[in-house]
């Protein structure tokens, strides 16, 4: 059994693409996807999933690049939909928002 080493970075507010550089110095630019590395009914986990569960716990919000598999922690200041923290506003029957935009 090999030990998985995790490369962990902090996600910038609104960031949706990986900013990791490869050996040539080029950006990866893979999409950051929410990574569900633990499920209670699952019987087997990979080394990477086991290492992530030990480091972050079972229900942490973690994003992973789909190309280079770098892990990203969300930032508390991120209010975009990529950070899962957005304001719920009431909508009329025609799809218009009630009131003014709270910016």
Model confidence over 31-86: pLDDT tens digits?
A: 999 888 877 777 777 888 888 888 888 888 889 999 999 999 988 777 665 555 55
Domain that holds residue 42: 1-103
- Residue 2, pLDDT score: 47
Q: How many domains does the chain have?
A: 1
- Residue 65, pLDDT score: 94
Write the burial class of residue 52 (CB in 10 Å: 0-12 exposed, 13-18 middle, 19+ buried).
buried
Alpha-carbon Rg for the chain in angstroms: 18
Report pLDDT digits (tens) over 17-31. Answer: 999 998 899 999 999
């Amino acid at each position: 059994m090999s030990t998985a080493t995790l490369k962990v970075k902090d996600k910038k507010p609104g960031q949706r693409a990986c900013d990791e550089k490869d050996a040539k110095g080029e950006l990866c630019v893979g999409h950051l996807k929410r990574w569900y590395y633990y499920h209670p009914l699952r019987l087997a986990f990979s080394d990477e999933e086991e290492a992530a569960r030990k480091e972050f716990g079972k229900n942490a919000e973690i994003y992973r690049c789909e190309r280079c598999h770098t892990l990203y922690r969300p930032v508390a200041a991120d209010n975009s939909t990529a950070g899962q923290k957005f304001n719920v506003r009431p909508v009329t029957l025609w799809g218009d928002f009630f009131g003014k935009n709270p910016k």
